Structure 1
Amino acid sequence: MRVLVVGQGGREHVLAWKIAQSPKVEQVYCAPGNAGTAADVQNVDIAADNVRELIAFATSEKFDLTVIGPEVPLVAGLSDALVDAGLRVFGPSKAAAELEGSKAFAKQVMRQAGVPTADFKVFTEAREAFTYLEEREDEPIVVKADGLAAGKGVMVCSGRDEALAAVREIAVDRAFGDAGGRIVIEEKLVGQEASILAIIDGKSILPLETAQDHKPAYDDDEGPNTGGMGAYSPAPIVTPEMMERIYSKILIPTVHEMKRLKRPFKGVLYAGLILTSQGPKVLEYNVRFGDPEAQPVLSRLKTDLIDVLVAAADGKLHNLPDLTWDSRPAVCVVMASEGYPGKYEKGHPIRGLAEADAMKDVKVFHAGTKIRGDTVVNDGGRVLGVTALGDDITSAKLQAYSAVKKIRWQGAWCRKDISDKARA
């Protein structure tokens, strides 16, 4: 088989790396890829949102499967265009991808399906949101940009003043551009987060192993929200009993509701959950593998990933045997550029990558990197996802951070507490 992976982040690196391990796969291309994918597969200089060029390339190369990594091309309809061109694709349609493309739409789906989530209201006018907040009690609240904002359009506010400032930033100043055309204001849920990834073929649901992300920038969950500063798998807080509840009360109703809306979901459904005292509630849906959750989860997958992706694309998940997993936990630590999630500088040479990658049970997944001459440089906010397996969560964390210590570039930093919640 010949496979095209679309995207350039850490998620796409782990997908390309894992797919390339399959004995059934002859060649893997990544468009546009990064410095890490260039070492493991073949990069193609086509942007992930350039639908026209991607269709032309995929058609001319007659790929057996195209795997779409990021949310932007999915929301733009790349999956539909590939299907229309007669190609097999892993990734939801534009209509189904609205689950991530619009937080308001996702909340309405949850409400209709009876899926537990935070109480919410949707606003198209900033002044209406201001009035609503002024009339509410002064309590913690969450303000969200409705559209795609690269994981940064969510503001957790301690009270009214912060919430008013968040509305102003999103809906008036348009800090996230058109994503702020509508805003969602919802109650703040209290509890630990968990990430549930499930492969879906329109009807059948195949949950993957659990994970826990770390969204706030700094240790002890302090600081602004990011795209994710690290993750580990499995998440012990998600017990088998809780997983059954998530499957029956969240995943099944959502898939049924999307089918009822004539938007059948095929691809990866990512449920970001808060485990509250009343049980698991959905924070948000994404329509692709989480980044950085994909790195530790897929590092533990022993089943041939290509079999899973093809079965989902063909609507035949029910024919797939049970997945097999490495019983060892995995920890992924994100190394970021100085200033992230705000402004940061690019182009600093990265040292120590080969030394880190040579360590036992370690894989350095690239996210924001590129090759300049013969040097790998930082080219994004989240730069690397240093991932390690270990006999237990403590040894996996130790191995991951030992690898982190070997890597240096000007301004590099990371959280120091990734996976500590698993041992709390």
Structure 2
Amino acid sequence: MDFVDPILSLASEIYKLVENVKANKKRCRRVSERVQALEDLVKSIKQRDKGQTSADVEKALKELCITLTSAQELIRKYTVASWIDRIVHSGSHGDEFNSVNERFNDAFQILFGAQQVDSREKQDEVDGREDDTELKKCEKTDFDLFCMWLNLMNKPSATDEVIRMIKPEEIKYEYPKEPFMKTSTSEVYRGEYHGFKVAIKRYTEPLNTSPSEVRSVFNKEVETMRRFESPNILRMFGICDQDKDGPEPQFLIIMEYCEKGSLRQVLDSPCKLSWTRKARMCLDAAQGLYRLHQTEKKSKVHGCINSSKFLVAEGYTVKLGGFELTKTETSLKKASKDKEIRSVCYSSPETLDNINYLYSKGCEMYSFGIVLWEVATRKRPFDGWSSKDIYQKVCKDKFVEPLPDDCPEPLGNLIDACRAYDSFLRPSAGVLVDKLRCVVAQLEEQ
């Protein structure tokens, strides 16, 4: 309960800032409304006895405090932004506010859920008509609060395009019709779908899977992918059934096209990247990972995080890829002879030390820390090192590769936290998003 008073204080500061914003007034007011709903919920939690608060609630309150701090920094810059600043940064406005609102939504669900559990436990102990009446009043208040939050979250989707089966005539290929990328099992072409630039993946050695079986797997997986919708996760449009009535029908995977290629390709290129740009790219990548980690009730991990799994779109927006429609793809393609394995360069100390260690979000955060180090340095991790050398230095000597001398200290501290030897000390993706947002805001002010 140590975080309740700081939360209420931050909420009060946010209300004051919103009254003085010069740009993005509606978005800022929307944030203020969500903060108000959370404040009411936190006040109800404050009324409990100190010993009645669960560890999950304490953790949620702690993270909410960090999220409110990042929201405060986000709103503060719009109290002083000039018209020029607004135009220059206009492309990222929506994503910034969407990210904050996602964090608020997740916090509300955790805290509201805990509140309901406590209410049910209390109800079992209630004896007598007066207590029953009082409890119903409390339940009505909670229900009203929940309805208010649902109303606040009732915003249109980022896209009107749904993931679905796509007809061949809906796709236009770029000519000459040549693949811009090839792997051992597929070819990828540029094209257009409903006005969107897309990448079209075709399997060169498809499995002899029946169309009905592929559709069944696809329809089940679509529901999961819809929960992953985020500006920082590679967008999937669906699959196309090519020559479905012919002797050899083919399925094509239609996905978002990112013109700058993979993050690794961008870092290897001669393009100039300021520290502000690098910090924003780190924030984009973290938001994609957060959405993946937070979406599923059960622990959901990517399983193979590296700089090639992130793609870079126009405006240097970074998106997480490499896991979309995995079950559908498995039903379509033959297994690659050079089976992809998690690179030793990205392996956490605990997985290096024990091959049977259960891969977790903590392990994945270490891998992500290596990716952030790559963004900061533009170098390849442990370049030229043998697996034996990496094992000795990382696992036994607790070594981390150094950051550039001119790396902003707050950014460097976060990168080092992700690469901490002890997995307990690594931040969650949500906390990392909040703190990176503050770093970006500070760098933009300079």
Q: Give the TM interval when normalised to the shorter protein.
A: under 0.3
TM-score, scaled relative to structure 1: 0.24
Decide which structure has greater strand share: 1
TM-score (ref. length: structure 2): 0.24
